[in-house]
Structure 1
């Protein structure tokens, strides 16, 4: 099987790349062409057809500046689409994605990671939808006014707050895809009990392989699949994959485990590409990237991930082919499965009643 041809023919969906953070960092240093000079060639080399762009809010902007920061980064994504109309397009529906790809453009899907900008006002999720956001999670490592993040699983273990339930219900009604990655274990349980539509874990791994607060247990994976959802397997952060062996083959170990637990229709790719941002801004991985407590020794020794940038994604395809995945199954993992969720949910209103506010 020609791996390069297979990868090129697939509709490749990357469910999580934090590239807008590095674009913003370079903007502030007068390098406003960074996206065209670095990221566009990388995305093209990686065969990426659909790029989910999460907006993550760092601690310096939580909580007082979170809404402003969220909207500024959302505006920057819109500016990218205006700057490079022949290369990228912001997409609100699966039909928009297909149209962008047919024209040779990369489809950009806007996302918010942690939803810090919403604060205590659930109605702002509608504002985010109007701004173009189509994928959202409602907590990161720590606590928001909507839910507890996975970093608190050893202590608070809080689930969704009443405001979090209101946001979740409104997301389903609007046609915004819910993302359970980073949500604490009890929050995931709440969502799985409430959900009536398919959802995503955009960038997660398997607990049975890596015992990490960011990994999903087998029962969680099965229940996500039962809703028609998809687990996007992370590939670019070593300690989520295997800190001592973060190779493309080890990523495929996670993919195979999801397949064994839930079936081939419920796994995708969410590499969580952020290495270049941390190297440029921090001079390396900050301690809190591995441990939300900020413990400087938390990360421990690790090997660099084999999948660091979009151009590396073909290595996952090569590893799947070597492991015996058939052509159609490879295409499902690379993008068809996530696209199915987008076709069912993204920009498709449900019949749920709007929550009172």
Structure 2
């Protein structure tokens, strides 16, 4: 996910200041568990960041939130690299090219450091490949736009290593309605989207319902034959009216089908004020675009989009958020749907540095572990939340495809 109403200069400044700061010291017990457990983070936006500004993530990279040294410091084992394409790229017909270029970047990073990274294509290979301290990289496609109108592209991307697809992003597309869209196009999934879900089941690609409208999630659950995931969502209980976060009703429905809700760290999803501002931004942006179209139709010059973005940012500063906001989400989700159906999908490198003070990079998973221990979660349940649940769902989806 990209937080759209933060200027690039501010985003770079925030990311540099946060990434350069040392990780807070968690307890010895928390650090030990983080290193011993299999940590699976289902949403890290490193590939898109590499296209914006190339860095060697096998080395310490202060301007990013994911790199190899800090991943090992935090105990990260499996990192789903987000292959993100925007609605604008979809409209321009460039999403397919962008997606393949990002996959190339992940493959190049792995080839450059075979002692530090390995490509992960199956959950059954985790134990073998992580030996020697390697961080395993697998692919999650954020926005189904790169497949275009061609179902065969699903198999092509599966061959390249894509193991989940977020059907839509911040706008309705040919597959599904988006939670952010003010006006929905399909009332859920499109007829093509229903075919996409069925084909993903057949191929063993996990269906990701983050970013989807509520009706789209209901359609997915009606069609799918296997469990689904929400790769990086918050609980709407804490952000009423913010459709981007998952409702109690739908979280229960995902869990009832054996799926898992991967809880996000970004302040825009776990801080109620920030979430309200984010939804309001999309509403205001849609109104601004409608006004611009009307001005052009009337033969008048459109207003400055850059000025709109700056004015919005100045009027809506991002509030400071602490780790308790994430811990509250996990506590609530565990009570609502059970510890077997909760995981983590940080959105590192995708929220312009707008993260809890204590969760600034992949070095900081021990802080999350310590917080969960202090709140009374057993080490067994923490292991499930850190990665065990996601690996179980992935294994089920893979086995169903083989059958």
Q: TM-score range by the shorter chain?
A: 0.7 to 0.9
Specify which of 51, 57, 67 is matched with residue 85 of structure 2.
57
| 2:230 is the counterpart of 1:201 | yes
Distance 1:333 1:187, change over 3 A: same
Residue 59 and residue 35 in structure 1: after superposition, are their counterparts in 2 closer, same or farther (change >3 A)? Answer: farther
Map of 1:268 onto structure 2: 343
When residues 66 and 240 of structure 1 are mapped into structure 2, their CA distance, relative to the original with a 3 A threshold, is: same
> Are 1:105 and 2:134 an aligned pair?
yes
C-alpha distance in structure 1 between counterparts of 2:185 and 2:156, whole Å: 30
For the structure 1 residues 310 and 262, does the alpha-carbon distance in structure 2 shift closer, same or farther, using more than 3 Å as the test? Answer: same
CA 155–210 in structure 1, closer or farther in 2 if over 3 Å, else same: same
Matched, 1:18 2:41: no
Per the alignment, residue 124 of structure 1 pairs with: 153
* Structure 2 CA distance for partners of 1:25 and 1:34, relative to 1, 3 Å: farther
* TM-score scaled by length of structure 1: 0.85
Per the TM alignment, residue 206 of structure 1 is displaced from its structure 2 partner at its CA by 0.7
**More displaced, 88-97 or 222-231?**
88-97
Does 1:337 find its partner at 2:366?
no
Task: Please give the per-residue CA displacement for 1:10-32, whole angstroms capped at 9, x wherever unaligned.
Answer: 111111110112222223xxx4x
Whose helix proportion is higher, 1 or 2?
2
CA RMSD, 1 decimal = 2.0
| Deviation of 1:35 (Å) | 4.5
Q: Deviating runs (4+, > 6 A) in structure 1? A: none
Partner of residue 334, structure 2: 259
On the 8 A contact 1:317/1:330 being kept in 2, the answer is yes
TM-score, structure 2 as length reference? 0.76
1:155 and 1:136, CA in 2 relative to 1: closer, same or farther beyond 3 A? closer
For residue 144 of structure 1, the aligned residue among 173, 176, 180 is 173
Out of 60, 68, 74, the residue aligned to residue 46 of structure 1 is 74
For the 8 Å contact 1:230–1:267, the answer to whether it is kept is yes
Gaps of 5+ in 1: 280-284, 286-302, 352-357
- Cα distance in 2, alignment partners of residues 101 and 184 from structure 1: 36
Q: Is the 8 A contact 1:141 1:151 kept in 2?
A: yes
State how far apart, in whole Å, the 1-side matches of 2:381 and 2:230 are.
Answer: 19
Contact 1:238-1:305 at 8 Å conserved across structures: no
- Give the superposition deviation at 1:188: 0.3
Check if 1:247 corresponds to 2:274: no
Name the stretch that deviates more: 59-68 or 259-268. Answer: 59-68
5+ residue gaps, structure 2, are: 1-27, 62-66, 275-318
